[in-house]
Chain A
Amino acid sequence: MNTRIFLGVLLFLLVFVVVGYALLTEGLLDVQAQDGSGRMQILKASQDAKSIEIGAAIFEEYCYSCHGVKGEGVPGKGPQLNPYLFTTRYPELRAANYPNSLRNFVKIATAGGRPDFTTYWADKGEIYAAPMQTWSAFFGGPLRDDQVENVTNYIMSWEATAGEAVVIAFEKIGNDVTKELPAGDAARGKRLWDKEENYASGKPSPCAACHSLNPGETLVGPSLAGLASRAGSTVSGQDAATYIRHSIQAPSDHIVTGGNFAAGDNSLMPANLGNDMSPQDLADLIAYLLTLR
């Protein structure tokens, strides 16, 4: 009997000490709250970090093709988010008395999309093939609330380095279809296509977002499978390389029929793709496309 009481008290003390230890390391003390050393603070940081990891993967799956690998934007597909959103767009909105926080702005746009083609880069001549769709499942999109939250957290994590926008100086080919091109390297062209290498502007090639290499598969534009075989005979007077070059730099010159590829007289394909390419980029890309027989 006495042993039992003694052991019982010992056990009680043990539980008391362990729970007390747990409570003291939970993070309720001011010191822990400040330096983030409590268990709850560490776990919160870990949850936030995990949210960014998941958000990054969602961005790569859904957002990347229009907004660029790291949010730098894709000509004709979607505007730059990083850093333009942080350095210019949101400050402008605030100046115009937009009442919401930056985070809410990102979240609202992600969840609800955009109603029209309105672009905040109209002054730079940016137009897009389609307005941003709604992404939240609540509005009929594919993402659950927590996924919208995660991708918002990821986009917001760019803010820390948004001041460091780097402008790369390079000779751009633009819409000039007459300029002499250097000799093309098909292997580098493939790397550009695969986004393993970037254009001289530092942006990745957006081609694969709309053009499939599988025969007959239409993403937005027509499949490029077998392009090299038919390019020479599509427009009279243009050889294969010239035809491909015109298609990239001046897509509305000839619009492929047999699909929904035009809006009025204009091709859905952006007209400003050349702005990100150097003559070498264009030559390499054409050289690669000429291998697609």
Chain B
Amino acid sequence: MKIEPFNTLNEMRKQYGLKRTLGIKIDESVTRLTAGLGVNDIRGVLRGDPAPKPNPRVKPHTEGAFFHIWPSFYHEAVTKVFPTFRLGLISTAIFLIEIVTGLFLMLYYTPSPTAAYSDMLRILSNVPLGMLTRDIHRLAAEGMVLAVALHMWRTFLTGSYKKPRQFTYFTGVILLVFTLLLSFTGYLLPWDQLSLWAVTIGASMADAAPPPEVGRVAGLLLRGGLDLGAGGLLRFYLLHVFVLPLGVIVFLFVHYYKVVRHGHSLPPGLDAPGEDSARKVPPDRRVPFLPDIVTSELLWFGLIVALLVVGSAFFYDAPLENQADPSNTPLHTVAPWYFLWIQGMLKLGDKSLWGVVVPTILLVLHFALPYYDYNPSRRARDRRFAWAVSFFSVGTIVILSFMGSSAYLVGGAPETEVGFEFMRPERLGPEDIRNVPFDALRPGTYDTNALDESLKAEARPLYDSLDELKVLIERYQHPNLKKKLTSGHAIVKIEDWLKDKDGDVVLRRVSLTIEWLNEEGQVQSFVKYVYVHRDSSYPLLRLYHES
């Protein structure tokens, strides 16, 4: 036996000729790379030829490193949209998209309070496709939370967590927790007012962990200090780009491999209660992974990419507010939407109980679900109680989320609320004066009690805005309200403030004075002001589409 490959190659050339030798060598290399599929096999797969016998297309599953986490065939019943809705696949696809877009964003991002926000601005205004990449990353992150949560709910409804898939479910809950944490840690990174305060609320849960000594240490560990600052940002960044993605990848492999071990859980109606025939798929109902499932999954993947790209380019802009200001808490700060239900529970009472203890108990119940649910049947009609609990839980979460929003039980002083609606420090609300086009902000002093009809003809958007302000104040004059703006009215003063070289006004100052009578009948007043620049183009969304 010869050991020197050059000789062997040379001998082969002498025997078969150069062309054929190259062909053989290429085929060998391809077979090695695909763990079993030669050039002709791949051609057959792509052409849609029936699999030869023995079937080389199962080799990548048995011998390859990557394909072995997929089964070599699926049961026909699980290849349709129902009952899986493809939610697991969608979650994985989004995770891959997040990795790719996240890597690009990392190129331009520094995890430091002094640099992070200006880096964000730079990504938006100085990196080609930076805004699109960020929008996709953000949209996909929201989508991933949704897809993973729905995936879990679907698993519950079809009883797919039951024997023998208890541990698959267990890893699935781990992945759900990691997904939520990934989204939450990423929320902080733009370092704007929205992210700082939403995450501050979330991170303060750590402080509430009982007993107080533990809570204190947990809070310090998470934030790297008493408040979220340089230390906290770096910790969240490392969790976001390294620790959590690594965890997801590890558990994703376990989660997938469990499917190979146990087969896909079939639609509940196919098996008798307590039985599981997923591993005994009749040959005529098998759908081979290569090529059918692969092409189908690639198509789904393409669909997700297309949806995200089109959605981000035309319909969605990731929010970016002003730079985080630790000394200035905005009115109506809320947690990210997937944690709103916890914020809602906080309004029920004790922070430790509702913010930490109850969510922890719920999480443990989730993890342990397959181990205490002894009902062997996966059919809906045998699981009425489980279905009822499930819909009750989802309903409760929706209600709690509403309670967590600023619409529920958080009313500041009425004048502050009106001031907030009329001049939000961050993103615009429907009643915001900055919705009025710059040209329509005519200098002058306007009293909501004496709105001039001539303004309607000359500057309609301004008139409408002032009219909305009037309605807003009237809303706080309802006799049943505890705090109200009795005979309140507002005076809005608009001044030209700055001109550019050509003499055009570029900056205007708008001041709002609300006057009302207190219980003793004395006049009270509240003043707020804002500067509006011609080019600042609120809101951002409109700007992007006009470009």
List 15 extra interface pairs beyond A11-B303, A11-B305, A40-B124, CB under 8 A. Answer: A1-B48, A1-B295, A8-B295, A39-B547, A45-B535, A46-B536, A46-B543, A47-B125, A56-B507, A70-B497, A144-B323, A157-B507, A160-B500, A160-B501, A161-B498
B523 within 8 A of A: no
Report Cα–Cα, A25/B506, bound state, in Å.
26
B306 within 8 A of A: yes
List 15 interface pairs A-B (beta carbons < 8 Å), by A numbering: A4-B295, A5-B295, A7-B302, A11-B299, A18-B313, A19-B132, A23-B129, A39-B131, A40-B128, A43-B125, A50-B536, A52-B498, A144-B323, A161-B498, A161-B500
B131 x A8 contact (CB < 8 A): no
Within 8 A of A (CB), among B523-544: 529-537, 540, 543-544
Per-residue CB contact flags for chain A residues 1-24 toward chain B (1 = under 8 Å, else 0) read 110110110011011001101110
Nearest-CB distance from A138 to chain B (Å)? 9
B310 within 8 A of A: yes
Our pick among B48, B118, B509 for the contact of A56 (Cβ within 8 Å) is B509
Report Cα–Cα, A205/B509, bound state, in Å.
19
A53 x B309 contact (CB < 8 A): no
Our pick among A2, A4, A50, A52 for the contact of B296 (Cβ within 8 Å) is A4
Report Cα–Cα, A8/B291, bound state, in Å.
14
B117 within 8 A of A: yes
Our pick among B114, B126, B298, B303 for the contact of A145 (Cβ within 8 Å) is B114
The residue in chain A whose Cβ has the minimal distance to the Cβ of B46 is: A5
A42 within 8 A of B: yes
A38 within 8 A of B: yes
B306 x A15 contact (CB < 8 A): yes
B322 within 8 A of A: yes
A44 x B125 contact (CB < 8 A): yes
Nearest-CB distance from B526 to chain A (Å)? 15
B131 x A56 contact (CB < 8 A): no
Residues of A contacting B125 in the complex (Cβ-Cβ under 8 angstroms): 40-41, 43-44, 47
Per-residue CB contact flags for chain B residues 81-115 toward chain A (1 = under 8 Å, else 0) read 00000000000000000000000000000000010
Task: Identify the interface centre among A19, A47, A60, A145: most chain B CB within 10 Å of its CB.
Answer: A47
A54 within 8 A of B: yes
A46 x B537 contact (CB < 8 A): yes
B309 x A15 contact (CB < 8 A): yes
Report Cα–Cα, A160/B529, bound state, in Å.
24
Residues of A contacting B537 in the complex (Cβ-Cβ under 8 angstroms): 42, 46, 49
Nearest-CB distance from A211 to chain B (Å)? 19
Residues of B contacting A18 in the complex (Cβ-Cβ under 8 angstroms): 306, 309-310, 313
Residues of A contacting B32 in the complex (Cβ-Cβ under 8 angstroms): none
Report Cα–Cα, A145/B131, bound state, in Å.
24
B499 within 8 A of A: yes
Per-residue CB contact flags for chain A residues 153-180 toward chain B (1 = under 8 Å, else 0) read 0000110110000000000000000000
A43 x B129 contact (CB < 8 A): no
Nearest-CB distance from A85 to chain B (Å)? 15
Report Cα–Cα, A7/B295, bound state, in Å.
11
Within 8 A of A (CB), among B479-536: 497-501, 503, 506-507, 509, 529-536
Nearest-CB distance from B50 to chain A (Å)? 12
Nearest-CB distance from B546 to chain A (Å)? 8
A43 x B313 contact (CB < 8 A): no
A28 within 8 A of B: yes
B432 within 8 A of A: no
Residues of A contacting B546 in the complex (Cβ-Cβ under 8 angstroms): 42
B198 within 8 A of A: no
Report Cα–Cα, A44/B309, bound state, in Å.
23
Nearest-CB distance from A6 to chain B (Å)? 10
B128 x A57 contact (CB < 8 A): no
Nearest 3 Cβ contacts at the A-B interface: A49-B533, A49-B535, A49-B536
Residues of B contacting A2 in the complex (Cβ-Cβ under 8 angstroms): 48
A197 within 8 A of B: no
Report Cα–Cα, A138/B501, bound state, in Å.
34
